[in-house]
Amino acid sequence: MRDFWTATASARSCAFAIACAFSVLLPATAGARDDNDAGIWIMNQIAVPLDERVAAHVMVQNRWVDNVDTYQRTVVRPWLSFDWTEQVELSLGYDAHFFENPVDTTENRAWQRITFKHDFGVPTVFTHFWLEERFFERSDEVAWRGRFQLGGSVELPMDFAFVLRNEWFVDLNKTPRIRRTGLGENHFALAINHPLGRWLRIETGYTLQYVDLPGTDAFNHFWVVGFSATTPALTDLF
């Protein structure tokens, strides 16, 4: 039995080392293969449980592009989540995207999401379907988009976790801003997350973004850093 646990610990240590290597080396090798854009996304979010099943959330995201030389946009995202079961979560939210580059404009999005998570031991698998209604300045039309994500996480030594996920963004109708239906974006991510305390967690890693642009396809590379805080439930405070 001791040999078994020793082997398990060694395997997890190896997995941790491989995950760290991927998060450092993959952006460099991907960037060496093409001349597309690179940047950084920083996310800060907080969850406030209202009771045992309902929580309020707010996220603020900042994005730099052009090899981190240009500030692109600020995203503000409030939403409410409801734990329908231990494995299924329903969410209702809103996004405001304040663009500074390439043009100064604002995009608003209403969205609905269902998330499923199941712990298989190794790994934990999760998926979500996200329906967006997008509203653009100087346009009365609504662009509908579906987002489907599939991913998994593996617990590593010292409370680290390795996360792998992919999300498909599918445009469902044409508008003056959306030139055709079908796959418009794809995000592939490798990340490591770790608790920084009882209520705070950090996740950092690499995201490869595919964008279907007029006349070409873009493959952008981003370093993503996210901080997530969770407060005690309000029912425990009052």
The mean pLDDT of the chain is 86
pLDDT at residue 138 is higher than 60: yes
Lowest mean pLDDT among 5-19, 140-154, 183-197: 5-19
Q: Choose between 114 and 34: higher pLDDT.
A: 114
Res. 199: pLDDT tops 80? yes
Q: How many residues does the chain have?
A: 238
Helical (H) or strand (E) element with 220:
strand 216-230
- Mean pLDDT score, 165-181: 92
Spatial separation of the C-alpha atoms in residues 99 and 110, rounded to whole Å: 17
Q: Which residue has the higher pLDDT, 43 or 218?
A: 43
Q: Which two tokens stand for residue 184?
A: 């418009």
pLDDT band at 237 (very low <50, low <70, confident <90, very high): low
Q: What is the mean pLDDT of residues 142-168?
A: 96
pLDDT digits (tens, 9 = 90+) for 56-110: 999 999 999 988 899 999 999 999 999 999 999 999 999 999 999 988 999 999 9
- Of the two residues 181 and 216, the one the predictor is more confident about is 181
169-180 burial, b for 16+ CB within 10 Å, e for fewer? bebeeeeeebee
User: For 52-64, what is each residue's pLDDT tens digit?
Assistant: 899 999 999 999 9
pLDDT value at residue 63: 97
Give residue 238's pLDDT: 64
Q: Where are the domains of the chain?
A: 2-237
Res. 45 pLDDT band, cuts 50 70 90: very high
State the pLDDT at residue 137: 87
Q: For the ranges 29-38, 141-150, 155-164, 168-177, which has the lowest average pLDDT? A: 29-38
Residue 233 banded pLDDT, cuts 50, 70, 90: confident
The whole-angstrom separation of Cα 130 and Cα 142 is: 16
pTM for the full model?
A: 0.82
We find that the CATH architecture of domain 2-237 is Beta Barrel (2.40)
Are 32 and 10 in contact, with CB atoms under 8 Å apart?
Answer: no
- Produce one character per residue of 99-135: b if its CB has 16 or more CB atoms within 10 Å, e if not: beeeeeeebebebebebebeeeeebbebbbebebebe
Torsion of CA 221, 34, 172, 79, to 10 degrees: 0
- pLDDT tens-digit readout, 200-226: 999 999 999 999 887 778 899 999 999
